[in-house]
Amino acid sequence: MTIAQRTPIRLSDGRELVYFDETAGHDRNAWPDKRDLPTPPAASQLRHDPLVDEWVAVAAHRNTRTFLPPSDKCPLCPSTPEFATEIPAPDYDVVTFENQFPSFSERVHPDEISQVTDLVPVRPGIGRCEVVCFTSDHNSSFGALTPARVRTVVDVLADRTTELSAMDGVRQVFPFENRGIEIGVTLSHPHGQIYAYPMVTPRTRLMLTAAAKHHRATGNSLYADVLAAEQRSGARVVAANEHWTAYVPAAARWPFEVHVAPHRHLPDIPALSDAERDAFAPLYLDVLRRFDALFGKPMPYISGWHQAVTGEGRDLGYLHLQLFSIRRAADKLKYLAGSESAMGAFINDIVPEKAAQLLKDL
Residue 165's pLDDT is 98
Contact 339, 346 (CB under 8 A): yes
* Same domain? 166 vs 217: no
Mean pLDDT within 282-299: 98
pLDDT one-digit tens code per residue, 181-236? 999 898 999 999 999 999 999 999 999 999 999 999 999 999 999 999 999 999 99
pLDDT class of 136 with cuts at 50, 70, 90: very high
Where a domain ends, among 199, 219, 247?
199
**How many domains are contained in the chain?**
2
* Same domain? 294 vs 195: no
Residue 362's pLDDT is 92
pLDDT higher than 60, residue 82:
yes
CATH of the domain at 281: 3.30.428.10
* Same domain? 339 vs 207: yes
Where a domain ends, among 139, 172, 199?
199
Q: Which helix (H) or strand (E) holds 249?
A: none
- Taking alpha carbons only, the member of 74, 303, 70, 288 closest to residue 194 is 303
Residue 113's pLDDT is 66
Distance of CA 51 to the CA centre of its chain: 28
- What domain range is 220 assigned to? 203-361
* Same domain? 182 vs 264: no
C-alpha R_g of the chain = 21
Residue 68's pLDDT is 78
pLDDT one-digit tens code per residue, 298-323? 999 999 999 999 999 999 999 999 99
Direct distance between the N- and C-terminal alpha carbons of the chain, in angstroms, rounded to an integer: 33
Q: 255: which residues sit within 8 A by CB, 6+ positions away?
A: 325, 326, 327, 328, 334, 348, 349, 350, 355
* Same domain? 171 vs 213: no
* Same domain? 110 vs 175: yes
* Same domain? 29 vs 84: yes
Catalytically active residues, by annotation: 191
Where a domain ends, among 145, 179, 199?
199
Residue 116's pLDDT is 82
